[in-house]
Chains A and B, each alone.
Chain A
Amino acid sequence: MKHPLPPRLLPMLGLLLAGFAQADNPDRPAGGSIAYVLTNMSWAMQSTPGAAECPKGLNEGTREQFKQLFPDNGTKRSFESTQLRREIDGFHPTTAAEPFVYREGEGPVAPGLDLDGITGPEDFRSPDGHEGIENQMHRVLGCTANYRAPDGPIRFFEDEMVLRENYNRVVVQLRGVDSLKDDDAVDVRIFRGRDKVLVDAGGLKAVPGGTQRVDLRRGANYIRETRGRISGGVLRTEPVDLLYPWDVFYFPSDQYMYKARLELKLEPTAATGLIGGYADIETWYLHTIRNWGTHYQSYGNSSAPSIYKAMRRLADAEPDPQTGRNRAISGALATVFTQVNIIEPDPAEYAEALTRRRFAAPYRGMPAERDPAEEQFDPQPSTPAVAASGAPR
Chain B
Amino acid sequence: MMRDSLAGLALLFACAGAAAAGSGKEAWIPEPMPTGFRVELTVIDGPVFADTKGHTLYRWPFKVMRNGITGDPRGESNCGSEPARLSGGLMSPYPPGLLMPELDTRPACTDVWPPALAADAAKDVGRWSIITRKDGRRQWAIDGAALYTSVLDQRPGDLIASDAGNHRGDLPAMRDPVGPVTDLPPGFAVISTHRGRVLRNERGFSVYARDAGRHGAASCDAACTRIWQPVPAPASARARGDWKVLVRDSGELQWSFRGQPLYLYLPDPRPRAQDGTDEPGWHLVYVQQAPPVPAEFTVQPTTGGLVVADANGRTIYTYACGDDAPDQLGCDHPTQTQVYRLALCGAGSAERCLKNFPYVPADRGARASGLWSVVSINPLTGRFAAAGDPGAQKVWAYRDRPVYTYAGDERPGDINADNYGELRAQRQGYNAIWLRNDFTREEG
**A→B interface (CB under 8 Å):** 62-63, 66, 72, 76-80, 82-84, 87-88, 91-92, 165-167, 195-196, 217-219, 221-222, 245, 247, 249-252, 254, 286, 289-291, 293-295, 298, 358, 360-361, 363-368, 370, 374, 384-393
Contact = CB atoms under 8 A, between A and B. Distances in A.
B183 interface: no
A248 to B, nearest CB: 8
Contacts of A167: 303-304, 439
A218 B303 contact: yes
B422 A293 contact: yes
18 contacts: A79-B101, A83-B324, A84-B101, A84-B340, A87-B343, A88-B343, A91-B343, A91-B421, A167-B303, A252-B415, A286-B416, A290-B419, A290-B425, A298-B92, A368-B355, A388-B102, A392-B384, A393-B335
Contact of B407 (A358, A368, A393): A368
A381 to B, nearest CB: 11
B317 to A, nearest CB: 13
Contacts of A218: 301-305, 438
A358 B337 CA distance: 40
B146 to A, nearest CB: 27
B333 to A, nearest CB: 9
A308 to B, nearest CB: 14
A217 to B, nearest CB: 8
Given A80-B343, A166-B269, A387-B348, 11 more contacts: A83-B324, A87-B344, A92-B347, A252-B439, A295-B170, A368-B349, A368-B352, A370-B347, A385-B348, A388-B338, A389-B381
Interface of B: 66, 87, 91-95, 97-102, 170, 269, 301-305, 324, 334-335, 337-340, 342-344, 346-352, 355-356, 378, 381-386, 389, 407-408, 410-411, 415-416, 418-425, 438-441
Contacts of A361: 410
B278 to A, nearest CB: 9
Contacts of B346: 368
B269 A295 contact: no
A363 B416 contact: yes
A77 B438 contact: no
A388 B439 contact: no
B386 A83 contact: no
Contacts of B407: 367-368
Nearest to B438: A218
Nearest to B386: A391
Nearest to B425: A290
Nearest to B441: A250
Secondary structure at chain B's binding surface: helix, strand, loop or mixed?
loop
Contacts of B97: 77
Contacts of A389: 381, 383
A251 B93 contact: no
Nearest to B336: A390
Contacts of A289: 420
Contacts of B92: 294-295, 298
Q: Which of A84, A363, A365 has the most CB of B within 10 A?
A: A84
Nearest to A85: B343
Contacts of A84: 101, 339-340, 343
Given A76-B99, A293-B422, A388-B339, A62 B93 contact: yes
Contacts of A392: 335, 383-384, 386
A390 B98 contact: no
A364 B347 CA distance: 18
A387 B92 CA distance: 24
Given A80-B101, A84-B101, A390-B338, A252 B302 contact: yes
B303 A252 contact: yes
A291 B335 CA distance: 29
A165 B424 contact: no
B98 A367 contact: no
